[in-house]
Structure 1
Amino acid sequence: MANRKKRSLAKRKQPRGNPQKPHVSRDPRVAAKATLGDWIGAARLRTLPLAIAPVLIGTGAARLIDPSWHWALALACLAVAVSLQIGVNFANDYSDGVRGADDHRVGPARLTASRKAKPRTVLAVALGFFAIAAVAGAAITIRTQQWWMLGVGAVCIVAAWFYTGGKRPYGYYGLGEVFVFVFFGLVATLGTTWVQIGTLPQEAWFGAVGAGLLACAVLLANNLRDIPQDRAAGKRTLSVLIGPLPTQILFTLFVVAAFAISTFLAVLYPIAWLALLALLAGLPAIVIVWFHRDPRELVTALALTSLTALAYAGFLYWAFVG
């Protein structure tokens, strides 16, 4: 009875203008709902130059043979590349999130791992972008009557999904760079050229290799940052398998090799010398990769390398059509 009176007096003494604070859950599984900014961030816009670059190079190589502007086909190729890139980003967010591979990541938080969005919602968005890529690819096929390209498009989407999806994702076994080089280098560039002119000049091949090398460099910067977390999660990226120093060397070699290609092309197309201006972003990225003190600095290296790829592609396009 005495205890009840004490509690009653305590309630009466509490000031009305200073109510007790509500209990805040400390459950780490509880997170605020994703905002529009969170969704835009999950699309990883800093990687989109890697989708634009091969389309620029491929279109430039096509116009080298046929100066006429096949704008509808070029834009459709751009839609395929960008949609696949965003689709891969959301698919990675989903797959890595449900596996727990992103629970202790250093870079920007992911939607699934942070529990700001339901995994099935993130998956639906990824599939939606894959569907956009499929529709754009089907339009290209109908326009060109190259029906075998439907198979190529299907392989691209399947490869994008199994990069981190499925029971045995190949991105977890050191093959991520192979996927990036093949699909965001060779296939994207050569496919863009082929659908516009029906042939593949050597300039398209050189440009495709350059675009692929720079795209791989971006992935290496990303995976170099995440080596401790990926190793702990059982994600055996190439960087986890070979270690930090070989990753730094390989990153540098990829960037240098891409510019060696542009220098070779400059012998025939002098404007290609201007591609060296892209090193204004590329060289700082190399410096960060070698001398970073905080893994978060590699996010800047990733963004700089991505911008390097876009500038590189822009100058090669100018060299081919100028």
Structure 2
Amino acid sequence: MATVAQWIEGARPRTLPNAIAPVLAGIGAAAALDSFDWVMATLAMLVSLGLIIGVNYANDYSDGVRGTDDDRVGPLRLVGSGAAKPPEVLAAAISALLFAAFAGLAVVLLSKHWWLLAVGAVCIAGAWFYTGGKRPYGYAGFGELAVFVFFGPVAVLGTVYVQADTVSWTAVGCSVAVGAFSSAVLLANNLRDIPTDTEAGKRTLAVKLGDRGTRRLYLTLLASPFLITLIIGWWFPPVLFAVLAVLLAIGPARTVLSGATGRDLIPVLRDTGLAMLLWSAVAAAALAFG
């Protein structure tokens, strides 16, 4: 039986910035429109956290029963390591996704935007079919694109819209920046796993691009939010303070440039996520109070 610490590790805490950052950016963009609503903002955060924990457990379950996680370099996987039985991890995944669904239903009921039910259904389907089902899209190289969409535009603009009933060009810029950060986090994970994923037949984007191409794409994604910051800052100068996040991005960029492999790439996930979190927090504060 898995310990509490193992269940927490199985939820992959290093990925939580991917859920928190887009909602923070959306809150800031909504506040810039004088439309901050703490109830909607809190519900949006709960939806985002439920989805990412759900997809992490679902990924653990699906990869575990396929045998993809039998020989991993990265952090603990509950099923692959034998710490928990597949039905237990599946139950955890379903519970987290149901939590996200109920929080999302509350958003729909309060906002009266019934079409958001369809968006929520697509998000939950995206969480499951990332590595679940007969043809998981994560095994076909579309994982980074899905992360960009769901934890970029969908999460940021969704957070703004349920508060303000509209979106702004600033919010769109923030959504692209956060999406690029999120994709960079997943790409760093898949860069580390190229050898084992290749052996398991998992054709991630990193496997398709190869080591050198993956490193180039990672650096491009990591640089993109700072370029977007300069563009947004041209019209709204306070947002330029978000460039401070580059201080946290230098470390992972150097590690990737150095050609590091295996366990040496694990800190890149954490540091990229922290850079994204700092960028979103500073940008949100600038939009809200600038």
Specify every segment of 5 or more residues in structure 1 that has no aligned partner in the other structure, as ranges: 1-32
* Residues in 2 aligned to 1:311 and 1:92: alpha-carbon distance in whole angstroms: 27
5 Å-filtered alignment, 1:65-104, equals 65-66=33-34, 68-104=35-71
* Residues in 2 aligned to 1:174 and 1:267: alpha-carbon distance in whole angstroms: 35
- Asked which structure has the greater CA Rg, the reply is 1
2:214 to 241, 247, 252: 247
Deviations 1:198-225 (CA, angstroms, capped at 9, x unpaired): 1011011000000000000001100000
1:277 is displaced (CA, Å) by 1.3
1:230 is displaced (CA, Å) by 0.2
Partner of 2:174: 207
2:222 corresponds to 1:282: no
1:270 is displaced (CA, Å) by 2.2
Any idea what SS the aligned residue of 1:101 has?
A: coil
* Residues in 1 aligned to 2:194 and 2:105: alpha-carbon distance in whole angstroms: 39
Most deviating of 73-82 and 33-42: 33-42
2:91 corresponds to 1:124: yes
1:156 to 123, 147, 159: 123
Partner of 2:17: 49
2:147 to 180, 197, 202: 180
Most deviating of 288-297 and 160-169: 288-297
1:258 is displaced (CA, Å) by 1.0
Runs of 4+ in 1 over 4 A off after TM superposition: none
Any idea what SS the aligned residue of 2:70 has?
A: coil
Partner of 1:4: none
Partner of 2:78: 111
* Residues in 1 aligned to 2:145 and 2:241: alpha-carbon distance in whole angstroms: 28
Any idea what SS the aligned residue of 2:262 has?
A: coil
Amino acid at match of 1:35: T
1:294 is displaced (CA, Å) by 4.1
Q: TM-score, normalised by structure 1?
A: 0.88
Amino acid at match of 1:312: W
* Residues in 1 aligned to 2:168 and 2:222: alpha-carbon distance in whole angstroms: 23
Partner of 1:297: 264
* Residues in 1 aligned to 2:238 and 2:164: alpha-carbon distance in whole angstroms: 23
2:202 corresponds to 1:235: yes
Report the structure, 1 or 2, having the larger helix content.
2
Identical-pair percentage = 49
* Residues in 1 aligned to 2:260 and 2:180: alpha-carbon distance in whole angstroms: 25
Contact in 2 for aligned 1:50/1:215 (Cα 8 Å): yes
The alignment covers a number of residue pairs equal to 289
Contact in 1 for aligned 2:30/2:36 (Cα 8 Å): no
Contact in 1 for aligned 2:156/2:171 (Cα 8 Å): yes
Specify every segment of 5 or more residues in structure 2 that has no aligned partner in the other structure, as ranges: none
1:64 to 21, 32, 47: 32
Q: TM-score, normalised by structure 2?
A: 0.98
* Residues in 2 aligned to 1:245 and 1:320: alpha-carbon distance in whole angstroms: 37
2:4 corresponds to 1:36: yes
* Residues in 1 aligned to 2:47 and 2:101: alpha-carbon distance in whole angstroms: 7
Partner of 1:147: 114
1:166 to 133, 148, 155: 133
Cα RMSD, aligned residues only: 0.9
Deviations 1:93-126 (CA, angstroms, capped at 9, x unpaired): 0000000111111011200001110100000000
1:271 is displaced (CA, Å) by 2.2
Any idea what SS the aligned residue of 2:235 has?
A: coil
